[in-house]
């Protein structure tokens, strides 16, 4: 017997590849007035040094913006899921001295011209295996509206 999966609240942010810059740029097609403010205007895929990323991600998705300390203002390692063109990442931030992690699911179009980011604000699982299990359960539910 299959149990019902309750999809937690999330925001969707759409990006389109800018071939001149090599960055995905936020589009105007946003479902809410204020999309996720944590997500930057531009994102780019870049290889990573596996040993520096706990989840063994082979690639990072990073912002163009660099902080005063020389680090990307936004970055996450992305892991392949069981679904083609779908990846798992997370966003780490400190709020009132507390570590807060939000799960991110990324879907790339077949031709890599579009990127859709599903941002589960302040929603996390206890470890990488649990996050991946969540991703593989959530993706079919995110696909339902696309297939309707």
Give the number of other Cβ atoms within 10 Å of residue 18's Cβ.
13
- Residue whose C-alpha is closest to residue 77's, from 105, 94, 44, 53: 53
What is the pTM (predicted TM-score) of this model? 0.86
97: left (phi over 0), alpha (psi -120 to 50) or beta: left
The answer to whether 113 and 120 are in contact (CB under 8 A) is no
30-71 per-position pLDDT tens digit? 555 555 678 899 999 988 765 555 556 788 899 998 888 888
75-89 per-position pLDDT tens digit? 898 999 999 999 999
- Check whether 22 has a pLDDT greater than 50: yes
Burial call 29-45: b when 16+ CB within 10 Å, e when fewer: eeeeeebbeebbebbbb
104-139 per-position pLDDT tens digit? 999 999 999 999 999 999 999 989 899 999 999 999
Every domain of the chain and the residues it spans: 11-147
The pLDDT assigned to 73 comes to 86
């Amino acid at each position: 017997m299959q149990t019902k999966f309750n999809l937690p609240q999330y925001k969707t942010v759409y990006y389109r590849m800018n071939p001149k810059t090599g960055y995905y740029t936020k589009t105007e097609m946003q479902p809410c007035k204020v999309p996720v403010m944590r997500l930057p205007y531009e994102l780019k895929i870049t290889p990573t040094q596996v040993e520096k990323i706990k989840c063994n991600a082979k690639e990072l998705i990073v912002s163009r913006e660099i902080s005063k300390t020389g680090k990307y203002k936004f970055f996450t390692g992305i892991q392949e899921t069981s679904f083609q063109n779908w990846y798992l990442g997370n966003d780490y931030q400190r709020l009132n001295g507390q570590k807060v992690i939000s799960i991110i699911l990324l879907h790339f179009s077949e031709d890599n011209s579009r990127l859709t980011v599903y941002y589960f604000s302040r929603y996390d699982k206890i470890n990488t295996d649990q996050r991946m299990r969540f991703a593989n359960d959530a993706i079919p539910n995110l696909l339902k509206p696309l297939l309707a």
